[in-house]
Chain A
Amino acid sequence: MEQGAPQEGRSTRRQAVMRALGAIVGFISAALVVPLIVFLFGPAVRGKSSWGLLGRSIPPTPRSREPWVRVGELGPMPQGEAVLTTVRLPVQEGWIQTDTPVTVYVRRSGPESATIYDIHCTHMGCPVRWNQAAGRFLCPCHGGVFDGDGHVLSGPPPRPLDHYAVKIDSGVLYMGGLELPGT
């Protein structure tokens, strides 16, 4: 607290100093904070984002560096059954390059057709299990049930199971990128 009433001149002088101080602090803060925030967020938000009113879950599965990865011969795969299959994906995570084993459900639907499902429930990302007797995918977290084609039968999942692009070339099944709706 100031002693007595401040003189008019002193008061405006102090105000001017305070304004200058504020400007300097503001400039340094902005010049530092903006790059720091971009530094923190930058690589994370690279790529396409969706900006809809309805948010969504995203499978935590690593993304492949290569457009197509060989899964295996289609011939010996049973039809109508979702088979848990491990694919080695060439992955680039920041500065780390690895061949990461990733499991997916491969479901052969005909002699020359197949679907590759991501293992994560579209509700919250828990790993779904294939139940052969019922022909359904069951999620262990909140009771989500998907049919063999990945459609939601019951429970909270807001969209069908996510799947990957597929290519069949002379009897060999290849897995492409994740086909996430809305991007």
Chain B
Amino acid sequence: MWRRVVAWVDERLNVMPLWHGFLDRKVPKGIGWFHVFGSATLFLLVLQFATGIFLTVYYAPSTEHAYHSIQFINEQVPFGKFVAGIHLWSASILVVIIGVHMLRTFAYGAYKYPREATWITGVMLLFLVLAFAFTGYLLPYDQKAYWATVVGTNIAGAGPFVGDWALRVLRGGTSVGALTLQRFYAFHIWLLPAALALFVAAHLFMVIRQGIAAPPRRRPLDLGPEAAGLPRREVYERQYAMEKQVGHPFYVSILKDAVFALLLFLAVSALALTIGTPLEPPANPNATTYVPRPEWYFLDFFQLLWYLQGQWEPLGIFLIVLGVVLVLLLLPFYDRSPERHPVRRPIAMASAVIAIVAVMGLTYLGALSPGSAPAPAAPGGAAVPPGAREFQTQGCAGCHTIAGVGGTAGPNLSHIGGLLTRAQLQTTILNGTSRMPAFSHMSPEALNALLNYLESLK
């Protein structure tokens, strides 16, 4: 039956040559498991589109109904937890897979001539996916959603000259509320998918039109003496033809892509079914005890915000964001050496390692930091020394950790009694330091209790 349908269509449209051309075309040798991340990104985007479209059947983009509509999807709709869970978890995994895909492309030097435009559209796709993430997590309108949006739009406000304007355009005014939710919905459901579709189409067109970059060789293929003086396009085409000659048909690679997609699907489904889409309490703009925390993939940036201080801080934030954008987008233009093998690009590879360590380190610190919220007051009773209670009530725990509890802005004080003398401690507390405010208002008894407590920590 199926064959007859295909034959019927093919007799009219003559599409089989295209299909065979796509599947049977040769790809260079060595296109294997390292190359599954691009197709995995595409697969996860398809999952996002499929589940996202169906979520709009129940989701209501209004401050009054958004939260409860998500609750309804989670609790009442058959397979609701599965559909919403896939949307949430494949988004997280998508960010990781894009990162790996970019690293593979970087390590193989595949962004170099003639694939510069492929790299640029890829970087644009990364930014689009991050914009999806940012607009997407306001939609459930829970506490995390609301406060992450307050912080995120304020980051936009840090931009010079147009910051104020950008912030208002994002929020739909100055306050975060109904208008913000409505336009984040419009961005997330219509504008960003339209942009994404365009860039995915461009990216895929370039990949298929140019063929997958051959894995780099330590020594470039020798084209013989007659190749000297040929234009670089000609040299590239001859080399790529040689790579394809020793390569294999594309359909051999596609099986690896399918196996990896299956593994991803199983992982995402398992996460959706077991963890689902946990909601925090409904958004409450008046909560003064809430500690805003972003989704894990923005934790690195959130952590970075600890380190800039003072009047020029907004410009610092802007320059960091601009720097990251330009470094990624312009990579093929400032790294113009034709050398592609990672072993022969020590500076490029070292920079990549530094970038990975920085991102992972900041994410780790951000995940570790409980926020500088004063920890809930220790339970009373004789067991708690008065100095420990003072440590809590004065807000010291906001920045200092003792025995695993507290903030990370200031030094960990778990063993401070063995490091500083009582006099040194007293001076620091009363006068402050360049990064710590003075606590000269404390009563002598309270100060004494606090010093006793800190001295006892060895």
A41-B169, A54-B311, A54-B314 known; A142+B155 contact, CB < 8 A: no
On whether the beta carbons of B151 and A125 are closer than 8 Å, the reply is: yes
> How many residues in B have their beta carbons less than 8 Å from beta carbons of A?
67
On whether the beta carbons of B371 and A140 are closer than 8 Å, the reply is: yes
Q: Which residues of B contact A23 (CB under 8 A)?
A: none
Contact of B175 (CB < 8 Å), options: A57, A63, A86: A63
A131-B395, A140-B292 known; A156+B309 contact, CB < 8 A: yes
Q: Mark B86-108, 1 if CB is under 8 A from A, else 0.
A: 00000000000000000000000
Counting CB contacts under 8 A, is B372 at the interface?
Answer: yes
Q: How far is the CA of A46 from the CA of B165 in the complex (A)?
A: 10
Q: Which residues of B contact A62 (CB under 8 A)?
A: 175, 177, 285
Q: Which residues of A contact B305 (CB under 8 A)?
A: 123-124, 141-142, 156
Q: How far is the CA of A102 from the CA of B292 in the complex (A)?
A: 18
On whether the beta carbons of A119 and B288 are closer than 8 Å, the reply is: yes
> How many residues in A have their beta carbons less than 8 Å from beta carbons of B?
58
Counting CB contacts under 8 A, is B312 at the interface?
Answer: yes
Distance in angstroms from A106 CB to nearest chain B CB is 13
On whether the beta carbons of B175 and A61 are closer than 8 Å, the reply is: yes
Q: Mark B298-315, 1 if CB is under 8 A from A, else 0.
A: 000010011011111111
Q: Which of B118-126, B245-253, B346-354, B436-444 contacts A (4 or more CB under 8 A)?
A: B436-444
Q: Which residues of B contact A147 (CB under 8 A)?
A: 437
On whether the beta carbons of A58 and B174 are closer than 8 Å, the reply is: yes
Contact of B306 (CB < 8 Å), options: A49, A127, A142: A142
Q: How far is the CA of A154 from the CA of B434 in the complex (A)?
A: 8
On whether the beta carbons of A138 and B372 are closer than 8 Å, the reply is: yes
Q: Which of A5-13, A71-79, A93-101 contacts B (4 or more CB under 8 A)?
A: A93-101
Q: Mark A34-77, 1 if CB is under 8 A from B, else 0.
A: 00000011011111011111111111111100000000000000
On whether the beta carbons of B312 and A54 are closer than 8 Å, the reply is: yes
Contact of B157 (CB < 8 Å), options: A56, A129, A154: A56
Residue ranges of B at the interface with A (Cβ–Cβ < 8 Å):
147, 150-151, 153-155, 157-165, 167-169, 171-179, 183, 285-292, 302, 305-306, 308-315, 318, 371-374, 390, 393-395, 398-399, 407, 409-410, 432, 435-437, 439, 441
Residue ranges of A at the interface with B (Cβ–Cβ < 8 Å):
40-41, 43-47, 49-63, 84, 86, 93-94, 96, 101-103, 119-120, 123-129, 131, 133-136, 138-143, 145, 147, 153-156, 158-159
